[in-house]
Chain A
Amino acid sequence: MTNESDEPTAPGDGADPFADWEDPDRNADARTDGGNVSSPFEVVSEYEESRGDRLRKLYDTYVYAPIAIIWRDWRARIGFSIVLFYLLMGIVGPYLIDPTQVAEGPALVEPFQNWEYPLGTDNMGRDLLSQTVHSTSTILKMIASGALVTVAVGTLIGGVAGYKGGTTDTVLSSITDVFINLPGFPLVMILAALLPVGENPYMVGVLLSVGAWGGLARAIRSQVLTIRHESYVEAARGMGIPTHRIVFKEIIPQLMPYVVINLTNAARRVIFEAVALYYLAILPFSSSSLNWGVMLNQAYQEGAHYTAGALHWFLVPMATIIGISIGLILLGQSLDRVFNPRVRARHEKTTGEGGEPDADEPNEQNTNVVGGI
C-alpha cells in the first residue's frame, strides 16, 4: 500500500487509472450520505492531552504506582530490601572483604565469638563470612543467566504456541510436553556430568534452564489461550498485522505481570538446583570458586554434621540460601499485588484523593484507561 502511494504515476500499469477513478467516487458517496457526523473517523476526542500529560501518566503507571504500592506492603519492603542486600553483597562485597585462604585463622571458630571472623571459620581456618560474600557474585551470575533464559524461552514458545494454534501449537506443545515430562534435575545432572560446562557460572545458569522452561511455557500458553479471542487481538488480526507483532506487541505485554512473577520463581529454582549440583559435587569447582553449594559439600564431606562445634559450618550457607529465597518469595508475592488490577484500582483512588492535579479534572476516566494494564 505504501509503495503504491509513494509513486505518483505508474505509466505502464493498468491498475492505477482504475484506482484513480475509484477514489473520487467513494468521496462523493460519503458526502451525500450525511452532514457533520458523516464518518466515525472524523470525530476527534473531546479530551485534549499534551505530551506532558501523557508522560506524567506513564510515570504514574509504571514508576510511581508500583513504588507506592510496594512501599505500602510490608512484605514488599522486606523482600526488596533482602534482594537489594544480596545484590550489594555480590557486587560491592568482594571489594570490601578480602578473599579467604587456608589457615587464615584458627580452625572451627564459632560464629559471633571472634570479631575478626564474625561467622566463624571452617576446619581449615577459612573465614566463612568471606566465603559467603565471595560466593554471592557467582550465584548472582547463575541466577541472571538461568532465570532470563528460562523466562525468555518459556514465554516465547508458550506465547507463539498459544496464539498461533493449529499445527504450530501441536508441534510446540509436543516439544514442551516432552520437557515437562522429563525429570528436570536428573537430566541436568547427566548433562552437567557429560558437558564441559566447567566453572563458567553463566553456562551453569543456561544449563539449569533446560529442565525449567517447559512448565512456564505451558502456563503462558494457557494464559494466551484466554486472551487470543479478546476483541483487540481479533481487531489486530483483522487489520492484517503480522503474527510476530501481535504476539510481541499485543499479547506478551498483557502477560508481563505473570512473566515477572515467574522470573522470581525461576531465580529461586536456579539457586536451589545450582547449590544442589555443587553440593553433590557433580559440577567441578576449584578452591578459588567457592560457593554456597561447595560450602555445604565440604561441610558434609568433613563430617560437620556429627562433629561437635562444627554445626555453624552448615548453618552459615543454609541461612544464606534461605535468606535470598525468602527475599525472592516475598518479592514475587508483592509483585503479584503490584500487578493485581484490584489493588491498583484501590491505589488509584487513594492517590486521586491525595490531590493529584489530574484527579479533579473531568477527564478522570482517561487515567483509568492508562492505569488498567
Chain B
Amino acid sequence: MPNIGWRIRRIGQSVFTLWAVLTLTFVLVRLLPGNPMGAMIEQLIRQGVNPARARELVSMRLSVDPNKPIPLAYVDYMANMLQGNLGMSMYYSEPVVDIIARALPWTLFVLSWSLFISFFLGVVVGALMAYWEGGKLDVGLTSWAIMMGSIPYYVLALLLLIFCAYRWGIFPTSGRQPTGVPPGFNWAYISGIVHHAALPVLSMLVASGVASLGMRGNSIRVLGEDYLRVARLRGLSDLTISTQYVARNAVLPMYTAFLISIGEMFGGSVVLEQVFSYRGLGWYMLSATYQRDYPLMMGMFTVITIAVVIALLVADLTYSFVDPRAGGQESESY
C-alpha cells in the first residue's frame, strides 16, 4: 500500500534535519565559547592585517558577517548555504565546495563497498550460525564474530597497515590512486584504485561481526515462532521455509541496523582515512581540524551530514517496499 502521507512526512523530516544542522553550524561558528570567528580575526590581526580588513576577510571566508546583528547574519548564512556557498578554505585558499567535489567520490567509493561487504557477510554468517545453533560451527563463528565485534575498526586498520602494507608489502601504504598511471578507464588505473581502497574496505569488516551476531539472534527468534511449526506441519519444503519464512523475517531487522550503520561509517571514515592517508572527506575534515580551518571544517561536517541524511532517507523510503508493515502511523495521545 503506497503510504504517500508518511513519505511526505519522512522527506519533511529530512529537510528539518538539514535545517537543524545548518543552524547548528551557524551556532558553532558564531556563539560558541572560544568562537572560531573571533579566533580567526585575532589570528589575522596578529599577522599584521588591519582590523577592518581582517573582519572583511573573515566574513568572506566564513560567509558570516561579524558586524551584522545575529538574526540578520543568520539569514545571510542560510542564504549562502542554500546557494551552495560554503565559504573559502583558509588553508587551501580554495572554495570549500571545490575541495568537497574532489574528495566526496572517493569516500563514497570506499564506503559503499564496506557497507555492501559487511552487510552481506553479516547476513550469511549469522544465518549459518543460527541454523547450526549450538554446534561446532556456531561456537566457532560466534567466537569469530565476538572477536570482530570487539576490535575497533581503526585497530584492525592499523594492523592491516602494519602487516599487509609495511611488513609484507601486499598493498600500498597510503594514497588513493596509483602513481604514474594516467587517470581514466584503463585497467592499470582501475585496478590501482581498487588496490588502494582494499585495506580501508577490509578494515570495515569488523562491522560484519556485530551484524552477524544480530542476524543470528533474529534468526533464532524466528526459528522459535509458531508459524514455522505450522509451515512444517503443512509439509512445506525446507527451501521454501528457509527463504520465505526464516530469511525474510530475520533480514528485516538487519535492514534497520544497516541504516544506522551508514551514519556510523561516515563518521568512521575520518579515522580510516587518516590511517591510510586516503584523501576523502574524512581526511580533509581532520586536516581542517588540525589547521583550525573553520570554513573547511564546517563545510565538511555539513556535507557529511547531508550525505548521511540522504542515505538514510533513501534507505527508509525503500524500506517500506521491503516491509509492508513499516511506515509510521500517528499514535494516539495520552
Contacts and interface: CB of A to CB of B under 8 A. Distances in A.
On whether the two chains bind one another, the answer is yes
Given A165-B333, A177-B13, A318 B159 contact: yes
A215 B308 CA distance: 14
Contacts of B282: 186
Contacts of B334: 163-166, 228, 237, 243
Q: Which of B17, B155, B309, B312 has the most CB of A within 10 A?
A: B155
Interface stretch (B27-35, B130-138, B182-190): B27-35
Interface in A291-333: 296, 300, 305-306, 311, 314, 318, 321-322, 325-326, 328-330, 333
B285 A186 contact: yes
The SS class assigned to the A binding surface is helix
B106 interface: no
Contact of A165 (B267, B270, B331): B331
B238 interface: no
Contact of A329 (B150, B159, B330): B150
Nearest to A277: B271
A143 to B, nearest CB: 14
B149 interface: yes
Contacts of B309: 181
A60 interface: no
B299 to A, nearest CB: 12
A181 B305 contact: yes
Nearest to B209: A329
B260 interface: yes
B263 A180 contact: yes
A72 B172 CA distance: 48
Contact of A305 (B20, B154, B161, B268): B161
A326 B147 contact: yes
A306 B166 contact: yes
Interface stretch (A85-93, A128-136, A146-154, A192-200): A192-200
A366 interface: no
By CB atoms of chain B within 10 A, which of A191, A228, A271, A318 has the most? A318
B158 interface: yes
Interface residues of A, number: 54
Nearest to B266: A183
Given A163-B334, A190-B289, A300 B158 contact: yes
Contacts of A180: 260, 263, 312
A311 B162 contact: yes
Given A178-B20, A306-B166, A186 B270 contact: yes
Contacts of B20: 178
Contact of B260 (A163, A215, A314): A215
Nearest to A164: B334
B151 interface: yes
Q: How large is the interface on B (under 10, 10 to 19, 20 to 34, 35 or more residues)?
A: 35 or more
B300 interface: yes
Interface string B300-321: 1100110011001000000000
B34 A169 contact: no
A228 B331 CA distance: 11
A187 B270 CA distance: 11
B98 interface: no
Contacts of B264: 183-185
A166 B331 contact: yes
A30 interface: no
Contacts of A314: 158, 162
A208 to B, nearest CB: 12
A282 interface: yes
A182 interface: yes
Given A169-B333, A181-B263, A305 B271 contact: no
B146 A329 contact: yes
A194 B36 contact: yes
Interface in B228-270: 260, 263-264, 266-268, 270
Contacts of A186: 266-267, 270, 282, 285, 300-301, 304-305
B21 A182 contact: yes
Contacts of A195: 32-34
Contacts of B16: 174, 178
Contact of A185 (B32, B147, B270): B270
A231 interface: no
B90 to A, nearest CB: 15
B270 A166 contact: no
A321 B155 contact: yes
Given A165-B332, A178-B16, A305-B161, A184 B274 contact: no
A72 to B, nearest CB: 15
Nearest to A185: B267
A142 B330 CA distance: 38
B331 A169 contact: yes
B308 A183 contact: yes
Give the 7 A-B residue pairs with the shortest CB-CB distance, closest first. Answer: A166-B333, A185-B267, A325-B150, A165-B331, A326-B150, A183-B267, A165-B333
15 contacts: A165-B332, A166-B330, A178-B20, A181-B309, A186-B270, A190-B289, A243-B334, A268-B150, A276-B271, A279-B154, A296-B158, A305-B166, A322-B150, A325-B150, A329-B146
Interface of B: 13-14, 16-17, 20-21, 28, 32-34, 36, 146-147, 149-152, 154-155, 158-159, 161-162, 166, 213, 260, 263-264, 266-268, 270-271, 274, 282, 285-286, 289, 292, 297-298, 300-301, 304-305, 308-309, 312, 330-334
